[in-house]
Amino acid sequence: MPESDLKDKIIQAIKENQTPEQSTSKHHKKTLYSIMIVSALTTLCLVLSILFINNLFSKAPPPGPWARITFPLPGTTTGTKVKITAETRNIEPGQHIWLAVDKPDLELCWPKSPRLMPNTGFSTTIYERGPNEPYRVSVYAVTKTLNDQWEDWVNKKQLGGLPMPPKQRRLASVVLVKMENT
């Protein structure tokens, strides 16, 4: 027992002689570690919630053929030269992908060369020489017959529009505004 009493007395003396700096230092370390742990857990929860929300609200592509025009955005003002960025997916064999400028009020379209590869992302530049007004650029999946007609029309550099394909052939479209003749 005398040894344990001595040990207790030594511990008590150390505590009594400890400077306030030393005791608060331990307290600060504990607080700092607690803050670091809470921060790390909060960051982890935030990252996981962002990933979950993105997956929750991201639109999965439909099971059939589809396209998405990612650039330019609807309502963008353009000149004659227009860069188009888009992608297509689930295009069946025998279908051909084209961009065309549509004029629904005239029920005509103007195919834009070149024909595009299906089931991939693409970026191309089209030239639109129509009047300074809103116009629609569409992505079409067309049959071989229509593809051949459009290729012939493009190769002959004809100016008059072609009849628009049926609406179900239009996979995506964007309305743009032409404002200059450059």
pLDDT of residue 38: 78
pLDDT of residue 160: 84
Share of the chain above pLDDT 90, in %: 32
pLDDT of residue 41: 79
CB 129 within 8 A of CB 161: no
Q: How far is CA 104 from CA 16, 32, 34, 54, 145, in A?
A: 91, 66, 65, 36, 22
pTM across the whole model: 0.63
Per-residue pLDDT of the chain (182 residues; tens, 9 = 90+): 566 777 777 777 777 776 655 555 666 777 777 787 877 778 776 766 776 665 555 566 567 888 999 999 999 989 889 999 999 999 999 999 999 999 888 899 999 988 888 898 999 999 888 888 899 999 999 999 999 999 999 898 877 888 888 888 989 999 999 887 54
pLDDT of residue 48: 67
pLDDT of residue 11: 76
pLDDT of residue 1: 54
pLDDT of residue 130: 82
CATH class of 66-178: mainly beta
The domain locations on the chain are: 2-57, 66-178
| Distance (Å, whole) CA 93 – CA 162 | 24
Q: Which residues contact 177 (CB under 8 A, 6 or more apart)?
A: 75, 76, 77, 78, 133, 134, 135
Instruction: Identify the CA nearest to 153 among candidates 78, 106, 93, 98.
Output: 98
pLDDT of residue 101: 93
